[in-house]
Structure 1
Amino acid sequence: MPKMIESLAGVELYAVGHFALGYLTAKLTGRFTKTQISIPIVLTLSVIPDIDLLVPFLDHRGPSHSLLVAIVIFIPVIVLFGKNGFPYLVALVQHSLLGDFFTGNVQLFWPITSYTYGIALDIRSPVNVALEWTAFLVMFAEMLRSKDLQLLIKPGRLNIVLAIPTFTVLLPTFLAFPLRVPAALMAPHIVMLILFSISMLADVKKAFQNLKRAKSAVPH
């Protein structure tokens, strides 16, 4: 089955579900490891496996969704940063273990085997829509409680990485590529797009302000 047709067949969690699960699992892991997580990095990692939807020669839910590949990639991160790297590894692997496992068949142990695992819950079913809404609302409530929402929309050196999920996952879904977001889930996707835009613009504004100050400090 061609990749595009297969992608539209209903075997993929929507972006908002991945964002929510990535944030919540990383946040929980951070509490155990006593790590202050970078929200932009966590949100980006939570959807980065779906980059394979935009790469013609990659099988969807194949190499980029493999737990083995994720662990190998993260070995240097864990060596360098120790326990502080675990929340980010969790944010990445939850994509395959939680989100896509329930809504599609995932090659968890590629390249050892191409056997796929998963339940294949219909992505457009009321159950899946309700689960994604629940995850989104829990994430939003936790962001408000922990003040992570305020941090997300403030200038930060890493906010600009949100351009990756914005242009590879969020914006394409509004164009029905690679998935058509149902009307019932459009609102949370719009909220995430607005938050990401505000966050990135805050970084850009801060960068221009710093550049302006640097120029004014140069003696004429």
Structure 2
Amino acid sequence: MGSVWLAIIYIGGWILSMRVFGYFWKNRKLANSDAEPWFGEHIALKQYVALLQQSEPEASETQLTAALLRRAMEDVVRVLSMREDKQVLANLVKQGTVGDDIWAQFTLSEKELEAEILAVIEEANTFKEGWGQTILQTASEMVMHEKTKQLKKDLALRKEEETRKQAARDQRQAKEVKEVKEKKVETTPKATEENAKVEATA
């Protein structure tokens, strides 16, 4: 009986040690992996930094505030995108469709975005006291305005395309009707001539 318990304890200890080893090995692998950023290059940030470093001539305050606002708009777009991606990604990780490395990459990018937003707020307050509290709201409104503007533009293009297609269909139908009429005109004299021949022979 004692040997049975000894075997159970041995197997249990072996399984436990393997799990502990797997846990630490997996975490070490994730820590050492070079997680790629979730988004591409932050062009608006680079443009703002470039204006700050510009010396001849120095960038005006209007240029800097406009560039900072554009930077905040890009951050808002990224926040909205990450909100949509987070739930989907969490479900995929839970289902085992994607690995934990993807989740680690997402989490790292999320923290970097949080730091970027705090940096924008601090920068905004250097131009005008309290602007940091409203810059993201202003940026959000501008993003929504641009989306609405783009949507209207897309709808106008789609309407123009439909109008062009309808005009092409109408033109094609008119051409077909014209061809049918021309064929009728061509066959009518022949029919008249044949009728005259029949009447003459009669």
TM-score by length of 1: 0.27
Higher RCO (C-alpha under 8 Å, 6+ residues apart): 1
TM-score by length of 2: 0.29
Query: Of the two, which has the highest radius of gyration?
Result: 2
